[in-house]
């Protein structure tokens, strides 16, 4: 039964492009997903994973080879872009340099033949919305990169789209401004209340801004979930490796009791971890652990997980110190200790034998 709370749905969508050799490249491979009304939804993945092609099909700049796309239950897969209740903000902003800011924002309204009085009112409101009131008479060259990005947002929002698409719109900004604009964009999305679909390859950006994230690779959607779900409970090695930093330990299932798993690691250590999967004894698996979840020394994790190894690298980065610990069997752990005491020295030195402790809940069993 149709769900009116779904703003965008991709249903079994494929996009194939011909290649010079006479074959074809599958850019988007049987993608199905639902994006809720008023949601900040990110498509995240490396270059060539299919995220931008998916966005372009939602916008109408590309048409699906197979499957269908819906906006509020209406099929739009073959509808031209100008007939879709959707607007797009691009990375390069695409502002007209010879026009004033007011003219840039009003351009789409003129194309839609909106009366001048109404258009002026909507332009004023849109610029106030992006915190640029009174900028109507300026030109793009007089604005900073961040201000130009806001003008591009105002131009998209002034048409009151049902869905706003953002194709790496912060990519041209410096790091400090990009972080500021991340928070502003999220705040703006909450204020206007419309659906934002955001394409990025920046994991931190997606985690910071999104209500939910779809992680893509090779044209497939591998996992959809909240930032917490994607980071804390990745469903495969690619997601665990792409989002943040992760240590991976190879081993075999020794036993399972409900969600509690005992894994025999290469080198003889036992690791206790969690999984929602039904696994079999002897099955090859990978245990994924985030560096910040582990600590040097037995501490209070002794009864849960305690692995012995040797420190072979220490990197001090100010807020944290990173330790690389070699385990028996040739496997490696990366441990991140926060530097809370400015007078303290390293917890260990290169060559020291150490114990690495971590809770069961921090170790996740992956099968692919």
How many whole angstroms separate alpha carbon 146 and alpha carbon 93?
A: 10
Percent helix, percent strand, percent coil in the chain, to nearest 5: 25, 35, 40
Mean pLDDT of the chain: 90
Q: Looking at residues 344-351, what average pLDDT do you find?
A: 82
Using a pLDDT cut of 90, give the percent of the chain over it: 62
Q: How many Å apart are CA 163 and CA 38, to the nearest integer?
A: 9
Distance CA 85, CA 164 (A): 9
What confidence score (pLDDT) does residue 1 get?
Answer: 53
Whether the CB-CB separation of 168 and 91 falls below 8 Å is answered with: yes
Report, as an integer, the average pLDDT of 115-126: 91
Mean pLDDT, rounded, for 244-263: 93
pLDDT at 300: 54
Going by pLDDT thresholds of 50, 70 and 90, the confidence category of residue 20 is confident
Please give the pLDDT value at position 124: 92
Kindly report, residue by residue over 151-181, the tens digit of the pLDDT.
888 888 888 889 999 998 887 778 887 888 8
- pLDDT, residue 276, reads 87
pTM: 0.88
Q: For residue 362, what pLDDT is reported? A: 92
| pLDDT tens digits for range 261-319 | 999 998 888 999 988 888 999 999 999 999 999 998 756 555 688 899 999 999 998 88
Percent of the chain at pLDDT exceeding 70:
98
Contact in structure between 271 and 293 (CB atoms under 8 Å) = no
| pLDDT over 70 (residue 189) | yes
Relative orientation angle of helices 145-157 and 175-192, to the nearest 10 degrees = 20
Average pLDDT over residues 105-121: 90
Residue 322 is predicted with a pLDDT of 93
Q: Is the pLDDT of residue 129 over 80?
A: yes
- Confidence band for 146, pLDDT divided at 50, 70 and 90: confident
In the predicted model, is pLDDT for residue 361 greater than 80? Answer: yes
Report the pLDDT averaged over residues 93-105.
89
Q: pLDDT digit string (tens) for 21-75?
A: 878 999 999 999 999 999 999 999 999 999 999 999 999 999 999 999 999 999 9
What's the pLDDT at 221? 97
User: Which band of pLDDT confidence, cut at 50, 70 and 90, is reported for residue 188?
Assistant: confident
Angle at 158 between CA 3 and CA 75, to 5 degrees: 30
Question: What does the pLDDT average to over 219-243?
Answer: 95
Q: What is the pLDDT of residue 176?
A: 83
Burial (0-12, 13-18, 19+ Cβ within 10 Å), 271: buried
Residue 215 has pLDDT above 80, yes or no: yes
What is the arrangement of strands in the sheet containing 6-18, beginning at the earlier edge strand?
24-36, 6-18, 66-71, 74-75
Residue 88 has phi, psi (to 5 degrees) of -125, 140
365 three-state secondary structure: strand
Evaluate if residue 4 carries a pLDDT over 80. Answer: no
The vertex-222 CA angle with 18 and 43, nearest 5°, equals 75
pLDDT of residue 2: 58
pLDDT digits (tens, 9 = 90+) for 318-341: 889 999 999 988 899 999 998 887
**Whole-number pLDDT of residue 230:** 95
């Amino acid at each position: 039964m149709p769900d009116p709370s779904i703003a965008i749905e991709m249903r079994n969508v494929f996009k194939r492009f011909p290649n010079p050799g006479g074959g074809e490249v599958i850019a988007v491979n049987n993608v199905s997903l639902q994006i809720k009304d008023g949601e900040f939804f990110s498509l995240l993945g490396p270059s060539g994973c299919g995220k931008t092609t998916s966005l372009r099909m939602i916008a109408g700049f590309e048409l699906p080879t197979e499957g269908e796309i819906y906006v509020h239950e209406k099929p739009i897969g073959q509808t031209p872009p100008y007939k879709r209740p959707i607007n797009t903000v691009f990375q390069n902003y695409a502002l007209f340099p010879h026009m004033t800011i007011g003219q840039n924002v009003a351009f789409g309204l003129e194309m839609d033949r909106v009366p001048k009085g109404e258009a002026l009112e909507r332009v004023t409101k849109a610029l106030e919305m992006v915190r640029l009131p009174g900028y109507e008479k300026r030109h793009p060259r007089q604005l900073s990169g961040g201000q130009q990005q806001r003008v591009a947002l105002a131009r998209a929002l002034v048409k009151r789209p049902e869905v706003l698409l953002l194709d790496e719109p912060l990519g041209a900004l410096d790091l400090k401004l990009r972080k500021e604009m991340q928070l502003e964009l999220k705040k703006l999305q909450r204020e206007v209340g419309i659906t934002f679909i955001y394409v990025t390859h920046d994991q931190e950006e997606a985690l910071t801004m999104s209500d939910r994230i779809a992680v893509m690779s090779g044209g497939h959607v591998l996992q959809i979930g909240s930032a917490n779900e994607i980071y804390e409970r990745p469903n495969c090695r690619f997601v665990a490796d792409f989002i943040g930093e992760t240590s991976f330990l190879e081993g075999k299932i020794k036993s399972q009791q409900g969600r509690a798993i005992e894994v025999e690691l290469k080198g003889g250590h036992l690791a206790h971890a969690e999984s929602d999967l039904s696994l079999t004894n002897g099955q090859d698996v990978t245990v994924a652990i985030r560096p910040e979840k582990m600590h040097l020394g037995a501490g209070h994790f002794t009864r849960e997980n305690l692995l012995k190894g040797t420190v072979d690298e220490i990197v001090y980065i100010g807020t944290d110190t990173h330790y690389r610990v070699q385990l028996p069997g040739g496997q490696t752990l990366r441990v991140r200790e926060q530097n809370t005491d400015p007078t303290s020295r390293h917890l260990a030195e290169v060559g020291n034998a150490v114990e690495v402790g971590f809770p069961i809940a921090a170790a996740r069993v992956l099968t692919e």
